[in-house]
């Protein structure tokens, strides 16, 4: 009883703080939405994800008010509309979606196909440079933002969309587009160089879900593996669209992969549960293989608050360099 008497006030205080924080953030969001909905002469733009928002915001510049629909740690693959979302679709003059069926829930697909002015960036990139799109078991991989040189193919398409909606400011969209392309190109080269520092025999990546195909092909695999051999450099517990259903077979496959490629680290992802990674760790341990799971996570589908898309990839590269590039692994859990 004494224990409960002591801990109950602390528990209630925590509950109060959590409730206040939740209502603050939701009030902040509501206010943000109200401001976005006010007419101010700017184009009202809705981006489906924070990553799409990042590039669209840069290109729309001063003439666009851009918000993202799926933010924080929400899973863009399975996201279903919630209260207030359909109003965003209604108020949006332009919508930018990742496409390639990333946003595949029925409610998202319904709204995206109902709106008269949507650009599915990935679908248009596919038409432009189809040979660079990756398929996994005949399914198109939507994670095109993980290769900055491929993502840069979307810049002209976004510029065109803004320009056809608002031709008066075309020169501004073009200028913004050029700056974005330069920035992407510069970051792309730097990432390639940074990751080259990891010895080739250690460039094997095991993650929570299949978000890193484009990243591995571009930044971890050497040039002579570009036509397909790069695929051996990664293994993920879950497929292209994570749903937390891990089979015993998936775990077995990862254990086999870990042994084959002398892997010592498996990387958690920010928005996904780590339970399955720990199951792999245990399975490896029982076979005498020590596996480290870093405390820091990789980012696949989401951004941390305040983080740009380029910063997210730089963070991933830094984490890989730190854990894959080491001789002896003596950190993590």
> From the CB of 215, what's the least distance to Zn ion, in Å?
11
Nearer to Zn ion, 169 or 315 (CB): 315
Alpha-helical segments (H) within 138-202: 148-151, 155-165, 170-196
> From the CB of 93, what's the least distance to Zn ion, in Å?
28
Which of the ranges 79-87, 108-116, 176-184, 206-214 carries the binding residues for Zn ion, by CB under 5 A? 206-214
Alpha-helical segments (H) within the chain: 2-37, 50-60, 85-91, 106-114, 121-128, 148-151, 155-165, 170-196, 213-215, 248-260, 275-286, 309-324
Q: Does 141 bind Zn ion (CB under 5 A)?
A: no
Q: Does 301 bind Zn ion (CB under 5 A)?
A: yes
Nearer to Zn ion, 58 or 301 (CB): 301
Which of the ranges 187-195, 281-289, 299-307, 320-328 carries the binding residues for Zn ion, by CB under 5 A? 299-307
Nearer to Zn ion, 24 or 136 (CB): 136
Contact of 70 with 49, CB cutoff 8 Å? yes
Which of the ranges 132-140, 190-198, 249-257, 297-305 carries the binding residues for Zn ion, by CB under 5 A? 297-305
Nearer to Zn ion, 119 or 270 (CB): 270
Q: Kindly state the number of chain residues that form the binding site for Zn ion, as judged by CB under 5 A.
A: 2
SS3 64: strand
Nearer to Zn ion, 94 or 134 (CB): 134
Q: Does 211 bind Zn ion (CB under 5 A)?
A: yes
DSSP 8-class letter at 295 = S
> From the CB of 318, what's the least distance to Zn ion, in Å?
20
Q: Which of residues 27-56 bind Zn ion (CB under 5 A)?
A: none
Phi-psi group of 332: left, alpha or beta (phi > 0 → left; psi -120 to 50 → alpha; rest → beta): left
Q: Does 269 bind Zn ion (CB under 5 A)?
A: no
Contact of 313 with 284, CB cutoff 8 Å? no
Which of the ranges 46-54, 187-195, 211-219, 250-258 carries the binding residues for Zn ion, by CB under 5 A? 211-219
Contact of 236 with 207, CB cutoff 8 Å? yes
Please state, in angstroms and rounded to a whole number, the distance separating the CA atoms of residues 329 and 41.
Answer: 56
Q: Does 166 bind Zn ion (CB under 5 A)?
A: no
> From the CB of 269, what's the least distance to Zn ion, in Å?
8
Please state, in angstroms and rounded to a whole number, the distance separating the CA atoms of residues 119 and 96.
Answer: 5
Please state, in angstroms and rounded to a whole number, the distance separating the CA atoms of residues 223 and 205.
Answer: 17
Q: Which residue ranges make up the site for Zn ion (CB under 5 A)?
A: 211, 301
């Amino acid at each position: 009883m004494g224990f409960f008497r002591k801990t109950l006030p602390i528990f209630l205080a925590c509950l109060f703080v959590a409730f206040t924080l939740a209502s603050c953030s939701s009030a902040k969001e509501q206010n943000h939405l109200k401001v976005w909905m006010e007419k101010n002469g700017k184009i009202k733009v809705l981006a489906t994800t924070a990553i799409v928002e990042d590039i669209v915001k840069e290109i729309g510049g001063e003439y666009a008010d851009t918000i993202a629909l799926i933010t924080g740690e929400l899973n863009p693959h399975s996201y279903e509309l919630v209260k207030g979302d359909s109003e965003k679709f209604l108020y949006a003059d332009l919508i930018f979606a990742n496409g390639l069926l990333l946003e595949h829930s029925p409610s998202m697909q319904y709204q995206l196909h109902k709106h008269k002015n949507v650009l599915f960036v990935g679908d248009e990139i596919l038409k432009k440079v189809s040979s660079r799109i990756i398929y996994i078991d005949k399914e198109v991989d939507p994670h095109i933002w993980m290769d900055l040189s491929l993502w840069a193919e979307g810049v002209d398409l976004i510029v065109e969309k803004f320009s056809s909606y608002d031709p008066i400011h075309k020169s501004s969209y073009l200028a913004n587009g050029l700056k974005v392309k330069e920035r992407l190109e510069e970051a792309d080269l730097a990432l390639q160089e940074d990751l080259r520092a990891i010895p080739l025999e250690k460039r094997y990546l095991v993650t929570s879900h299949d978000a890193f195909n484009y990243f591995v092909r571009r930044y971890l695999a050497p040039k002579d593996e570009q036509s397909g051999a790069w695929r051996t450099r990664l293994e993920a517990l879950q497929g292209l669209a994570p749903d937390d259903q891990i089979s015993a077979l998936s775990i077995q496959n990862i254990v086999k992969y870990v042994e084959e490629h002398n892997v010592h680290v498996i990387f958690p992802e920010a928005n996904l549960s780590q339970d399955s990674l720990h199951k792999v760790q245990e399975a490896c341990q029982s076979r005498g293989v020590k596996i480290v799971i870093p405390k820091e996570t990789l980012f696949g589908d989401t951004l941390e608050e305040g983080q740009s898309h380029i910063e997210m990839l730089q963070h991933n590269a830094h984490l890989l360099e730190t854990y894959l590039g080491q001789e002896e692994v003596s950190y993590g859990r």
